[in-house]
Structure 1
Amino acid sequence: MAVFAAFGTAARLTGGRVLLWSALGRLPNAMCPIGALLLVTHNSGSVWRGSAATGLLAIGQAVGGPLVGRLADRHGQRRIGLLTAAVNTVAILALVAASEAGRPLPEQLAAAGLIGLSVPLVGPLSRSRWVRLAGGDAELTSATLSLDGTVDEISFTAGPAVIGLLAALVDPAAGLLLGAGLVAVCATLFALHPTAAPGNPVQQRGAGRLLTTPYLLLLAGMALLGTCFGSVQVGVTATTEALGQPGAAGLIYGLMGGTSALAGLATVALPARWDLPLRLRVGTGLLLAVSLPLLAVGSVGGLALAIGGLGLAVAPQMITMFGLVERTVPAARLGEAMAALVSSITLAQAGGTLLAGLLAERHGTTAPFWITCTAALAALTLAGTTATSRRYRRTAGVLESAPAS
């Protein structure tokens, strides 16, 4: 099946509208962390306070994601999606109101934590929806997950850019207000779409164990990828500052998202004989190979080339691991499993950022990239020794397709 034909078939599973709601509905997930940082820092005059709000938001998301995913599997994406969209909208507005009014820091932190806890999980639930609609067709599943991975990369690149632009041209609060509006409208429409999984409390309770060895290995792989993200973000920031062009950091980091999105689109063209375990092994090798040039960058141009090259390995890795989840967890717990993978990468990214910041301060701008390369080497070792077709054989069926409109 040709690339565009595969995507056309994937789009016809749901219709064009749900793709739009999915893309716009997950955008606030990328906007809120940097938006909270800019807003609280601007209104309080303290970077530490802004960082605290962002950190608590990330922790809330890591904790709340699997819980929301489990509830969606049990009670249906529509009911849980509508509830979380409403709570998340209120929480974003509460943070804006508390920060603008200069309320005590605990009130602002509580609002930030609630934002993280109540994220509607449009991305993870979209992926579980795609897998269910593909009905076990391996080629169609690959196409839909590639499409979804590309949407993710675009959102995580565009979100911070939109926030930064609105903060510079309008006000730091403007980006978060836009995010609240997108959640209220688009996440709600995504939840209301007829393709939303209905949920099955009885089946979900008796669906079987989630934390199997193959799934734990995927969680570890995602965590190592998150460590790469966090350390690269710090490394890019530290390097551009040292080179006297701190304003280039955002553009360079966004370049990784751009090349990653293109690589994600290209994965659907890989031949069928390249099964997912093989793709994971090859992909982690590529991740290490494109990480090593980061240790030798000495200019902004060189840094941009290295970061752009790194992006080529990111989306294929994520798409492959999300695809392997469908083979390793019970179908009735797919939403929870997808959400936990996102939590894994979120927590690891925060840890990688913290460690890279400490090392950059003590050992210079190259130190964060040593963390990147070490994490990539660990990912290659993990995949090379565990990613086999026997381990990741299909052990759980997929849910039957729901009608599209």
Structure 2
Amino acid sequence: MAADEQTGRDASGVRRFSDTYREVIGHTGALLPVISFLGRLPVAMIQFGSVLLVTETSGSLATGGVVACALALGQVTMGPFVGRLADRRGQRPVVLGFSLLNAVAIAVYTLGAVLELPTPALVVLAVLAGASIPGIGPLARARAVPLVRGAGGDDRLVNTVLSLESTMDELSFVLGPALVGLAAVAGHPAYAFGAAALLVAVCGSGFALHPTGRTVRANRETGQGPRARGVRQRLPREVIVVRVGLVFLGVLLGACGAGITARTEELGQPGQAGLVYAAMGVMSAVVGLSMAALPERFGLHARWRVATAAAALLSLPLVWTDSMTGLYVVVTVFGAVYAPNLITGFALTERSCPPRRLAEGMTFAASAFVGGQAVTLAVAGRLAESYGPGAAFALGSAAAAVAFLVALAARPGADGGADGGVRGGVHGAGPVAGHPSATRTDGRSPTTGPGVTRGAAGR
């Protein structure tokens, strides 16, 4: 009898878990996650593929690394600007313009690599390709969250949105490198770059023109927010602290990436590096989806501290792993902490950012992570060459320890932070004060039925 009751409870929990994701899809429409996933796939393809493409055409791994770093730094530098522009002008024109520009930039960059242009010219073209990335991943978060909030969704649903988005990021960074690898085997890495340019042009434009692309613009035109009052909302200290934590998380992942590459080479199986990355990404995606099942009483700051502590502890065995089997096992287990850190970082950003600066906040958070990862790849690579893979892994563990200290130093609710600030601090309370969906310009409460948002989403 007890076993039957337990089975019933488990089945009920699974149903609630799946119902939560169905509710999120009901708010966004089924098409939006598909085109946003395909639209962000080119980012993973060109980030990973740049090293392969330029190394193939120039014959120099060092040149490939320099050019790939330039591409990432272009993305990091312009990412927050793209988000700020989307907050001010609406996502539709901004994403449409940058998607088409990025498609052209990728094509020109690829042509330059194939023609074996000098390294300085390739660096300039790589910076342009990175700077024109439309930022569909963070902007998808900034679009879906107001849809859910506007329909009366609580923090539980918002966390589900962020879990789904991070899972799509993980899958893109598993599938993207795999597509580049297949293109290299089939003939040339440039084939994958041609596909990336086509994808960002078609799916980026589709993301921009989707009916939900009017969401941010519509919120701006309600007359609420800093522009209507003649002031610009200040970002709380909490947002800056989270960004610092994400930089060190990027350092951790960059160091681990360099360490994995060096370790597989040391073991005489360099071709296994991509599969090791894939194992980490798949585990991260699975755990990311399950994050929606965490109880609301397990607050964001507690999650942040647990996730960073787990990253520091689970990365330590990498320093001493000296076999392919051991590397697969340790990296797969370590992958379980990747998504929780990212999801929590984006959730803290969403709770702390003024609603009218949400797109900027999300793109800045993504840029902080990518920036830490990009710079570290070059540094950790040299460290691994000089002192072995263990040195690169040790750098990553040290970065995770610093991220944990940053999480410990953060004070929940301080100057409008998560768990008690901009969003009102009450989990599961629906629309809250300060959010565009909390009040209407006519003074009445908003309609919170999901049918309203489904109509806006455009099925």
What TM-score bracket applies, with the shorter chain setting the length? over 0.9
- Select between 128-137 and 267-276 the one with higher mean Cα deviation: 128-137
Task: After TM superposition, list the pairs within 5 Å mapping 1:21-100 onto structure 2.
Answer: 21-100=35-114
Q: Secondary structure at the match of 1:366?
A: helix
Cα deviation, residue 6, structure 1: 0.6
Instruction: Report if aligned partners of 1:280, 1:387 keep a CA contact under 8 Å in 2.
Output: no
Counterpart in the other structure of 1:156: 173
Partner of 2:329: 305
Q: Deviations over 1:250-290 (max 9, x none)?
A: 11122111100011011111111111111111111211221
1:133 alignment partner in structure 2: 147
Q: CA deviation at 1:381?
A: 1.6
Larger radius of gyration: 2
**Per-residue displacement from partner, 1:233-256 (whole Å, max 9, x unpaired)?**
111111111111111111112211
Equivalent residues of 1:31, 1:163 under 8 A apart:
yes
How many matched pairs?
404
Q: 1:167 aligns with which of 184, 192, 208?
A: 184
1:340 aligned partner, one-letter code: F
Aligned-partner SS, 1:388: coil
- 1:389, distance to aligned residue in structure 2 (A): 4.9
CA contact (8 A) 1:260 1:312 kept: yes
- The answer to whether structure 1 residue 219 and structure 2 residue 233 are counterparts is no
Q: Percent identity?
A: 39
Distance 1:376 1:103 in 2: 39
2:297 to 252, 273, 277: 273
Deviation at residue 213 of structure 1 after TM alignment: 1.4
Find the counterpart in structure 2 of residue 352 from structure 1.
Answer: 376
Assess if the C-alpha contact under 8 Å between 2:138 and 2:362 holds in 1.
yes
Contact 1:154 1:257 in 2 (8 A): yes
Distance 1:355 1:49 in 2: 14
Q: Aligned to 1:195, what secondary structure does the other structure show?
A: helix
1:395 aligns with 422
CA shift at 1:371, angstroms? Answer: 0.9
What pairs with 1:5-16 in structure 2 (closer than 5 Å)?
A: 5-16=19-30
| Pairing 1:238-317 to 2, within 5 Å after superposition | 238-317=262-341
**Residue equivalent to 2:204:** 187
Q: 1:120 to 1:204 in 2, by over 3 A?
A: farther
Q: Letter of the aligned partner of 2:376 in structure 1?
A: G
The alpha-carbon deviation at position 354 of structure 1 amounts to: 2.4
Secondary structure of 1:298's aligned partner: coil
Give the whole-Å Cα distance in 2 for the aligned partners of 1:389 and 1:286. Answer: 24
Please tell me whether the aligned partners of residues 53 and 112 of structure 1 are also in contact (alpha carbons under 8 angstroms).
yes
Structure 1 window deviating more from structure 2 (294-303 vs 45-54): it is 45-54
Aligned residue for 1:156, secondary structure, equals: helix
Structure 1, unpaired ranges of 5+: none
Q: Cα offset for 1:207?
A: 4.1
Deviations, residues 16-59 of structure 1 (Å, cap 9, x unaligned): 11111011000001011222222222222222332232121111
Offset of residue 368 of structure 1:
0.8
What per-residue deviation string (whole Å, max 9, x for no partner) do you get for residues 163-206 of structure 1? 11111113221000000011011011001111123433884653
CA-to-partner distance for each residue in 1:39-91, whole Å, 9 max, x for gaps? 22222222233223212111110011000110011001000011001100100
1:225-240 alignment, distance < 5 Å: 225-240=249-264
Secondary structure class of the residue paired with 1:43: helix
Measure, in 1, the Cα distance between the counterparts of 2:188 and 2:335: 31
Q: Which residue in the other structure is 1:404 paired with?
A: 457
Q: Specify the alignment match of 2:443 in structure 1.
A: none
SS in 1 for 2:421: coil
Instruction: Determine whether 1:318 maps to 2:342.
Output: yes
Task: Tell me if the contact between 1:293 and 1:306 (Cα under 8 Å) persists in the aligned partners.
Answer: yes
2:405 is equivalent to residue 381 of structure 1: yes
d(CA) in 2 for partners of 1:382 and 1:105?
38
> Could you tell me how far 1:361 is from its partner in structure 2?
2.2
Looking at structure 1, the residues matched to 58 and 382 of structure 2 have their Cα atoms a distance apart, in angstroms, of 24
Amino acid at match of 2:436: L
1:208 alignment partner in structure 2: 233
How far 1:103 moved relative to its partner? 3.6
Q: Is the 8 A contact 1:277 1:389 kept in 2?
A: no
Structure 1 Cα separation of the partners of residues 53 and 270 of structure 2:
20
The one-character-per-residue Cα deviations of 1:113-169 (angstroms, maximum 9, x if unpaired) are 111111011100001112111115111101111111100110111111111111111
Relative to 1, partners in 2 of residues 1:48 and 1:238: Cα closer, same or farther, differing over 3 Å? Answer: closer
**How far did residue 351 of structure 1 move?**
2.4
Note closer, same or farther for the CA distance 1:7–1:207 as it changes in structure 2 (3 Å cut).
farther
Is 1:280–1:317's contact at 8 Å kept on the other side of the alignment?
yes
275-284 or 229-238: bigger deviation? 275-284
The whole-number CA distance in structure 2 between the counterparts of 1:399 and 1:182 is: 33
Where does residue 429 of structure 2 map in the other structure? none
Counterpart-to-counterpart distance in 2, 1:235 and 1:244: 14
Q: TM-score, normalised by structure 2?
A: 0.84
- 1:339 counterpart residue number: 363
